[in-house]
């Protein structure tokens, strides 16, 4: 496989992109790509560092006449979300089957890794060409961004002189990202009380399932106020506990803390004689919920059916009452909006998973904020609510925000070059999701950054595609910025 992208412009960028595609580089499998970057530097006698997280930094001296300009850091991540259609294919050892049509580059049967391979290709093309006019460059290739930003977290800031950073991990041309949210993943655990009795005669096991919700990424989509299936289960079980004598069997829902739960279900034991009334109570709540989410989440389905208790343990009705109250009381969704940017949440949280393990129920929450102080306050709220119901909270991971700065000489400069090239204004955006810039902002004093990139559609899916024309425009723009 070579020469698939030959003839496309910018040729050097696509040459390196194709080389990267030939090396499997899904998250956690970055040894080989990191070694490739190291070899690249050795062959060209460029100074470099490869650290124990496999991050690579390659240094390029200033061009003649650019010695006095501020050092510029270029940055992107070398790992990709490797997904494919065919479960037989092992992406850890299989190269990306890259191809193109008139408009786009894509991969047959898998994700492409344009996120963030295009950043790697841009940086290599710059490092490879001495004729490109630029200040001193520190090209930073980080690892495992897609699975918790481990590389950026471990990066030693002592290896960098620059304070100006162009991050190349954005997917929409013409949008300059100038700030991102910080976040905390939290887990709350509540103990259930076992019920002495097994199922008694006359008791039936009932399963209530909530499905058909839109869900979505809890950073990007939280602003839409969509329904959360776990919250709906909390509300249904709260109403049931208030009306019937029930016992508790099981609950589960959601798949990721950073995804709005699109389905969830719980099981209870209820007196056989109560089933038809219980069904009508649930139908009533379903009607209310559908009405509340009208035109936001139109396919919510709540199904009540008999299930089989089998040999499973049974928990007390008061355990369910406590759990339902906890879910009801726990804040969820957008908590505050920013005053300085229209339409941007300041602080939000999402319950993404609920699961029972033995006699414990765990809920997983993703908290986000554009400001550290507001994030810390929200964390206190979550802990306080959990405490009130005897649940114990733990943090699993935490990443800092990149706070929007009013004053940014780099951004001003990049806007000026953009205006000159396109006679248009770029759109400055702050996002309610995490970026490596947040971590780097904490490490580098006087951090001044902008995140850009060419158009990439459907990242993290097998439909991912990279616009050829946009790649070329962003390349020319980047060169203009460096030589400005």
Cβ proximity to Zn ion: between 63 and 170 the closer is 170
String of contacts with Zn ion for each residue 19-58, x by CB under 5 A: ----------------------------------------
* Residue span binding Zn ion (CB under 5 A) among the ranges 40-48, 87-95, 116-124, 447-455: 116-124
Quote the least distance from Cβ 149 to Zn ion, whole Å. Answer: 10
Q: With CA atoms as reference, report the closest residue to 379 among 353, 356, 398, 401.
A: 398
| Residue whose tokens read 């733990």 | 394
Cβ proximity to Zn ion: between 115 and 297 the closer is 115
Beta strands in 345-463 (DSSP E): 345-357, 360-369, 392-399, 427-431, 448-451, 456-457
Sort strands 164-167 and 448-451 into parallel, antiparallel or unpaired.
Answer: parallel
Q: Can you tell me which of 115, 138, 250, 436 binds Zn ion, judged by CB under 5 A?
A: 115
Q: With CA atoms as reference, report the closest residue to 440 among 166, 233, 234.
A: 166
Cβ proximity to Zn ion: between 169 and 297 the closer is 169
**Helical ranges in 48-157 per DSSP H:** 114-127, 150-154
Quote the least distance from Cβ 118 to Zn ion, whole Å. Answer: 10
Quote the least distance from Cβ 443 to Zn ion, whole Å. Answer: 19
Phi, psi (rounded to 5 degrees) for 174: 90, -5
String of contacts with Zn ion for each residue 143-182, x by CB under 5 A: --------------------------x-------------
Distance CA 315, CA 484 (A): 68
* Residue span binding Zn ion (CB under 5 A) among the ranges 62-70, 114-122, 216-224, 229-237: 114-122
Query: Hey, what are 194's tokens?
Result: 């076992």
436 contacts Zn ion (rule: CB under 5 A): no
Distance CA 33, CA 13 (A): 16
String of contacts with Zn ion for each residue 279-298, x by CB under 5 A: --------------------
Q: How far is CA 120 from CA 36, 70, 159, in A?
A: 11, 22, 19
Distance CA 234, CA 327 (A): 5
Cβ proximity to Zn ion: between 19 and 169 the closer is 169
Cβ proximity to Zn ion: between 63 and 470 the closer is 470
Cβ proximity to Zn ion: between 169 and 267 the closer is 169
Quote the least distance from Cβ 460 to Zn ion, whole Å. Answer: 9
For Zn ion (CB under 5 A), the number of binding residues is: 3
Cβ proximity to Zn ion: between 115 and 332 the closer is 115
79 contacts Zn ion (rule: CB under 5 A): no
CB 225 within 8 A of CB 245: no
Cis status, amide bond into 435, omega within 30 of 0 = no
Quote the least distance from Cβ 429 to Zn ion, whole Å. Answer: 16
Q: With CA atoms as reference, report the closest residue to 329 among 247, 258, 235.
A: 235
Quote the least distance from Cβ 41 to Zn ion, whole Å. Answer: 22
Quote the least distance from Cβ 142 to Zn ion, whole Å. Answer: 10
Quote the least distance from Cβ 176 to Zn ion, whole Å. Answer: 16
Quote the least distance from Cβ 177 to Zn ion, whole Å. Answer: 12
Quote the least distance from Cβ 454 to Zn ion, whole Å. Answer: 13
Phi, psi (rounded to 5 degrees) for 143: -115, 155
Phi, psi (rounded to 5 degrees) for 287: -60, -45
Distance CA 465, CA 455 (A): 9
Q: Going by C-beta distance under 8 Å and a sequence separation of 6 or more, which residues neighbour residue 322?
A: 190, 389, 390
Cβ proximity to Zn ion: between 169 and 203 the closer is 169
String of contacts with Zn ion for each residue 219-258, x by CB under 5 A: ----------------------------------------
116 contacts Zn ion (rule: CB under 5 A): yes
State in Å, rounded, how far the first CA of the chain is from the last one.
38
Other Cβ atoms within 10 Å of 212 Cβ, number: 17
Binding region for Zn ion (CB under 5 A): 115-116, 169
């Amino acid at each position: 496989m070579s020469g698939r992208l030959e003839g496309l412009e910018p040729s050097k960028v696509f040459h390196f992109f194709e080389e990267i595609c030939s090396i499997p580089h899904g998250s956690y499998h970055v040894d080989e790509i990191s070694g490739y970057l190291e070899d690249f530097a050795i062959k060209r006698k460029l100074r470099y560092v490869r650290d124990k997280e496999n991050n690579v930094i390659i240094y390029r001296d200033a061009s003649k006449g650019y010695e006095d300009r501020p050092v510029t850091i270029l940055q992107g991540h070398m790992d990709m979300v490797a997904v494919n259609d065919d479960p037989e294919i092992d992406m850890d050892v299989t190269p990306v089957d890259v191809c193109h049509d008139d408009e786009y580059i894509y991969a047959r049967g898998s994700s492409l890794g344009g996120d963030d391979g295009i950043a790697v290709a841009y940086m290599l093309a710059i490092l490879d060409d001495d004729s490109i006019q630029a200040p001193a460059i520190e090209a930073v290739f980080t690892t495992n961004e897609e699975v918790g930003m481990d590389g950026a977290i471990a990066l030693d800031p002592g290896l960098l002189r620059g304070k100006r950073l162009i991050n190349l991990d954005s997917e929409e041309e013409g949008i300059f990202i100038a700030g991102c949210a910080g976040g905390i993943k939290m887990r709350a655990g509540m103990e259930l009380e076992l019920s002495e009795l097994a199922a008694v005669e006359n008791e039936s096991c009932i399963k209530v399932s909530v499905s058909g919700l839109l869900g979505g990424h809890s950073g990007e989509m939280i602003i839409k106020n969509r329904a959360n299936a776990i919250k709906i289960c909390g509300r249904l079980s709260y109403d049931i506990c208030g009306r019937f004598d029930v016992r508790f069997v099981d609950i589960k829902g959601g798949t990721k803390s950073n995804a709005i739960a699109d389905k969830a279900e719980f099981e209870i034991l209820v007196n056989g004689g109560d089933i038809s009334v219980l069904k009508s109570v649930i139908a009533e709540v379903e009607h209310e919920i559908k009405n509340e989410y009208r035109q936001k989440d139109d396919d919510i389905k709540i199904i009540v059916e008999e299930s089989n208790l089998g040999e499973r343990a049974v928990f007390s009705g008061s355990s369910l009452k406590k759990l339902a109250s906890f879910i009801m009381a726990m804040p969820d969704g957008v908590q505050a909006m920013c005053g300085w940017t229209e339409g941007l949440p300041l602080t939000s949280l999402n319950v993404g998973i609920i699961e029972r393990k033995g006699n414990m129920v765990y809920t997983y929450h993703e908290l986000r904020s554009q400001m550290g102080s507001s994030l810390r306050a929200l964390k206190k709220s979550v802990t306080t609510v959990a405490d009130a119901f005897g649940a114990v909270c733990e943090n699993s991971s935490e990443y800092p925000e990149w706070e929007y700065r009013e004053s940014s000489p780099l951004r001003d400069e990049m806007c000026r070059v953009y205006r000159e090239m396109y006679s248009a204004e770029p759109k400055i955006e702050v996002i309610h999701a995490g970026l490596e810039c947040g971590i780097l902002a904490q490490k580098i004093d006087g951090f001044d950054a902008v995140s850009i990139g060419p158009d990439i559609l459907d990242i993290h899916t097998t439909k991912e595609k990279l616009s050829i024309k946009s790649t070329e425009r962003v390349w020319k723009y980047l060169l203009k910025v460096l030589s400005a």
